[in-house]
């Protein structure tokens, strides 16, 4: 009994020692944030804005109730008279960080957008009125300038590309007006697309980001800014998004020099590939950006890019999808020459394109009147179609009668499942122009072994690619 008790005591002691060592090891692996927070925090600022509120909607609401009459009419008239005498302003809070000792400050565009006044408060409670140097709504970035009494502490940009998922990061900002709050977490993902703008490429983090953090820095463990905190998921916790520093730095440098933000332009409409599209085009996997339309007279078309090409790389750098192509081209200044690697007719080739300048007005959507066509020949994949007439060509936005007009689609057919609709015009099949149902059916027959065809549609003036599986 004594031996058993002694052996048990030794075992428990050894177990306790192991637990203590493991706990100590785990504690030793946790990062230390105190020095980083103290040093970086001095360069983080609070931003508050004042702007005049548009009162048109409020006025309409008053008028709506007042015009109803009744016992509350006097109340609304007195209420309105009182508030007509009051300044109608709106205040908001955000964050930012000092980029240079002479007072340049980075923040989000949405923090200062529409502001009549912008004020910056430093960590020591010094308050300055700020000038908006420049802003870029497309990336939600803005640059401010204050005239400080002394040299200011600064933060510098780090390399967001080098950051890896799982690395520690620190966010500092002004959540809910609580100045210089510090939160820590990891990088949860990179390259997130959240629909905020055309150049979405966000860093996702679980470091707590809340209203008021916007414009504040996301820091690596060396105290470098690797992101600008920008967005949150309202219904979630531990999900925040930051603009990568490598994108932000290029924009901020242009704003600081007083340049207009200029972005490269190819002049193509593009779409992503799925597995069926890649198979139909002879690609090993879905990659690159499929050119749905090479706009006539624009840089890509002038250089020889054609509708149906797949852009695989820009200057030797692979393109994963349409978003990546858009970002790569936009990061290059207009007038520069780029080398595109494209896939055409089962092989790759290179085309040099001198970029134009991106202009949002060029992106206006083309429109064509809706059609209710009928008649035509029915195919085995569920399409009823016929050649386009002279009168229909003009209404459909075509230069001349070309292609096959879809007049009906069987709901459970391969064409129906491919989201082809009545009123679509099939311009090409497997990159071959067609004008008769016979030509269409011939390509279908020749593609039976491949098991899929890719068609180019014209829909409401826009080019769209769809794949149709065969033999189903």
Q: Is 11 annotated as a binding residue?
A: no
Question: Is residue 230 annotated as involved in ligand binding?
Answer: yes
Handedness of CA 134, 140, 146, 150 (dihedral sign): negative
Reduced to 3 states (helix: H, G, I; strand: E, B; else coil), residue 450 is coil
Among the residues of 85-161, which ranges form H helices? 109-112
Q: Report the distance separating Cα 23 and Cα 28, nearest Å.
A: 9
Strand partners for 107: 142
Distances (CA, A) of 86 to 49, 51, 60, 441, 465: 18, 14, 18, 73, 57
Give the angle subtended at the CA of 431 by the CAs of 429 and 433, to the nearest 5°.
70
388 is in an annotated binding site: no
Residues identified as active-site = 110, 140, 214
Q: What is the DSSP letter of 245?
A: H
In the 8-state DSSP scheme, what is residue 204?
A: E
Tell me if 121 is assigned to a ligand binding site. Answer: no
Burial label for 171, CB within 10 Å (0-12, 13-18, 19+), is buried
Question: What is the C-alpha to C-alpha distance for residues 329 and 245, in angstroms, rounded to an integer?
Answer: 18
Q: Please name the residues in contact with 469: beta carbons below 8 A apart, sequence gap of 6 or more.
A: 276, 414, 417, 418, 451, 452
Q: Return the SS3 of 381.
A: coil
Q: Rg of the chain over CA atoms, in angstroms? A: 30
Name the phi and psi angles at 85, rounded to 5.
-90, -5
Is 212 within any annotated ligand binding site? yes
Q: Does 242 count as an annotated binding residue?
A: no
205 class by beta-carbon count within 10 Å (0-12 exposed, 13-18 middle, 19+ buried):
buried
Could you give the CA distance from residue 455 to residue 295 in angstroms, rounded to a whole number? 19
Q: What is the pairing mode between strands 89-98 and 104-107? A: antiparallel
Q: Which residue has the tokens 């593009």?
A: 270
The binding site consists of: 110, 140, 212-214, 230-234
The binding site for substrate consists of: 110, 140, 212-214, 230-234
């Amino acid at each position: 009994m004594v031996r058993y008790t002694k052996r048990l005591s030794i075992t428990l002691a050894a177990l306790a020692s192991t637990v203590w060592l493991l706990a100590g090891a785990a504690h030793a692996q946790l990062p230390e944030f105190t020095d980083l927070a103290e040093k970086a925090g001095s360069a983080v600022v609070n931003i508050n804005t004042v702007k005049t509120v548009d009162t048109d909607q409020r006025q309409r609401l008053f008028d709506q109730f007042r015009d109803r009459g009744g016992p509350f009419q006097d109340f609304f008239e007195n209420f309105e008279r009182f508030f007509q005498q009051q300044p109608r302003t709106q205040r908001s809070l955000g964050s930012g960080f000092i980029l240079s000792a002479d007072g340049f400050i980075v923040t989000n565009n949405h923090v200062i957008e529409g502001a009549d006044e912008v004020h910056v408060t430093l960590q020591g409670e010094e308050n300055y009125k700020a000038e908006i140097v420049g802003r870029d709504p497309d990336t939600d970035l803005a640059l401010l300038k204050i005239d400080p009494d002394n040299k200011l502490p600064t933060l510098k940009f780090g390399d967001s590309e080098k950051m890896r998922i799982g690395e520690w990061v620190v966010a500092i900002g002004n959540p809910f007006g609580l100045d210089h709050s510090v939160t820590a977490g990891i990088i949860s993902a990179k390259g997130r697309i959240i629909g905020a703008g055309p150049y979405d490429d966000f860093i996702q983090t679980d470091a707590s980001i809340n209203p008021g953090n916007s414009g504040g820095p996301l820091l690596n463990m060396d105290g470098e800014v690797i992101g600008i905190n920008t967005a949150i998921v309202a219904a979630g916790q531990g999900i925040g998004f930051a603009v990568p520093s490598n994108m932000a730095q290029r924009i901020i440098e242009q704003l600081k020099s007083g340049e207009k933000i200029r972005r490269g332009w190819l002049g193509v409409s593009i779409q992503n590939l799925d597995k069926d599209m890649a198979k139909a085009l002879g690609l090993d996997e879905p990659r690159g950006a499929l050119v749905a339309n090479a706009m006539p007279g624009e840089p890509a078309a002038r250089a020889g890019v054609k509708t149906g090409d797949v852009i695989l790389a820009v200057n030797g750098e692979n393109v994963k999808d349409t978003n990546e192509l858009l970002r790569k081209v936009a990061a290059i200044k207009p007038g520069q020459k780029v080398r595109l690697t494209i896939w055409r007719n089962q092989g790759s080739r290179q085309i040099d394109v001198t970029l134009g300048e991106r202009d949002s007005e060029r992106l206006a959507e083309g429109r064509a009147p809706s059609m209710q066509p009928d008649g035509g020949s029915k195919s085995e994949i569920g399409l009823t179609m016929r050649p386009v007439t002279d009168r229909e060509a003009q209404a459909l936005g075509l230069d001349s009668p070309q292609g096959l007009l879809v007049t009906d689609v069987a709901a459970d057919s391969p064409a129906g499942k491919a989201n082809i609709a009545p009123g679509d015009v099939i311009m090409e099949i497997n990159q071959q122009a067609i004008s008769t149902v016979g030509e269409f059916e011939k390509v279908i027959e020749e593609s039976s072994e491949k098991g899929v065809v890719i068609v180019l549609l014209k829909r409401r003036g826009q080019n769209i690619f769809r794949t149709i599986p065969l033999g189903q």
